[in-house]
Structure 1
Amino acid sequence: MPLLMTSTPDEDYAVRLSPGASFSIPSTAKVLDSVQLAELERTFRTWATESARQDVRASRQRILLIFLLIRHSGAKLNEVLELRFGDIDLEKRVVILAGEDKEKGRTVEIPDDLAEELRTALSQGAHAPDDALFRIDPAHVRRKFYEQAEACGLPRDFGNPSTLRRSRSVELLRGNLPLPVVQRLLGHSTPNLTAAHLEVSEEDVHHAARQYVDRESSRRTSARNIFFGKIVEMNKGDIQSEVILQTLGDLRITSVITNTSLKRMRLKIGTFATAEIKAPWVLIAGSVDAAENSAENRLPGVVMAVNAGKVNVEVLVRLSEGTEICAVVTATGFHRLKLKVNDPVWTLFGAYSVILNRE
């Protein structure tokens, strides 16, 4: 699905970082938000696996890893291409970035899932610590990045590695990671005046970064019945408004809230929020029973687990994009459906059952 392009963050070009500190983005700056970055990642992953030739898939997988490292570490392209096998510590889930100047290396946290992908890549044969991880022409990498940006519905220059690096810095700042921490993680040598009065130790940098990366990972995998995303559509009525959230997994969650709440929470298109649905409000339908239903939210999935009691049954469903949603239904209703683990189902819940929380 083509993405809506934005050249600025979603919050009036400024996000509060700490008392007295903020950042601003010029209106001409090219920046992708978290949802757009997630969609670009899906495009890369599809491309990396769609070839019938194993050697082509292996080559594309390396390009995917380069993208993921830039996207999640904010590294420069040359820093990633200069990585050696010894620069990756999978136990600590960090990479050491320096480019050609190894004396000025910095340690950057990476998400658990990226660490596992790197573990798989590193397991292909024996390697010495000084062996290069990637031996790829930078111009070739840039061309593939531009191609995938266009395949995702973006202008090709939004696939530029420097745009991804800039987008990561804005994403970290928007997530309230302190400005000095972001500057250290991205290797900025000169702090600006806003952060000049702040001193951050190396230990504090890595503690803050690890907390943020772990929280970010939980958003991508999604806690049960909680969806993180961006508001992409709003239909305002006299008393209540319909709000549509696009998640990182490209689901669309519809909620209805009062206009008073809309104003109090300062929600608007582009705002990031979480949608929460309590398990008793989630209904389960068989694979062919969802069409004739008034529920605004109808999400297909597969039954992963069933915890049956005398009165109620807890049903865990994995949705099509990998997240999980839990429903609590009556034992009578569940037995009527005759469902078992691995059966396809629909999860249904109304717009009034969705609770929105601003991020």
Structure 2
Amino acid sequence: MQEEITRLVHGLDESALRFIEACIRHERESRNAPPPPPPHPGGHFTVPENVKHLTSEQLDAVAKSFLDWYKGAVSTTQSRSRGRLWLVFLLIRYGALRLGEALALDDRNDLNFTRSLVIVRGQNPRELQFPEAIMGEMRQVLESPVMFGLRGEVLHLDQGYVRRIFYERAKDVDLPKDLLSPRVIRHSRGIELLRGEVPLKIVQQFLGQQSPTLTASYLHFSREDARQIVHSHLRREAMKKTSARNAFTGTINRITRGDLLVEVEILTGTGLKVVAVITAESADNLELREGINTTATIKAPWVILSTGDAPTSARNHFSGKVQSVQLGEIEAEVLVTLDEGSTVCAVITAQSARQLKLEPGKPISVLFKAFAVVLGM
């Protein structure tokens, strides 16, 4: 065996040997790479229809409208009035305060600019961490000469007046008036935090809600949402148990047996079909059967990339877009996001990467042979 390996290696040119060395180095590094971050339901839930809310993009559009309105003041009186309302909006937008809580704040004692904290007192006391940039904006408004004489009471406004001004801003961003209430903006911030993978218990405390059930009312998990979450979790488990960079977890959809080999088709949670060919002995040892879960792994050097539509013998052929390219002296590591959302890592020669003119966003085909797929239970 040793003689056979020596004979094969001697038949390779220097560039091939260097690429093999790069692949071995990549394999060793992947063994020590940290596992991917744990999946979180934040990106996999829908909001019940009865919960009015705005998306992050809509919230940002409303914020810009408020800021333009404030900056457009033409008199000292108008600047003072609009500045106070701009502060109220920021407190609800980023702190998810109830309107009454925001209007009860003492701007001298309840805003800690050193630590970027807003201190809410009363029935649901809590300390809220704010983005430093937002705290800087509020400080700039409060320290404006137009606020002289109001400090300590800058936020003490009539609730009806505040709601009316909020409703008026709806026309600037082409939204229904009922979506620009302080209550909707508060709920929207809670949903935004959940989407940002902040744990539900922390969001509950941030909102000052007495029960996590109230916070959970923002969430609805469809069957598709649940499937995506479970798929992400199973894939993470598979990645932790193997040095292969690519792992697809799914259900065995079909098994075709031959005399010596067995073809196995796996259907992943995202609808991807991965075909593997293994020996009949391996299939028997794994006790494979249709309907059970399995994980298909493919090492990065076995993944082939193509920018054309030429016929190929590879059974597994998927389309996607280049996510990133890391060029080394000999090798290149290419991450590809498949059309259904999975990410595949390929290690190819740097020369091939340059010839293919790979760059983020470029359409690409990902191929690997059925014999390159390793199944695990």
TM-score relative to the length of structure 2: 0.46
With normalisation by structure 1, the TM-score equals 0.48
In our comparison, the structure showing a higher alpha carbon Rg is: 2
Q: Which one has a larger percent helix, Structure 1 or Structure 2?
A: 2
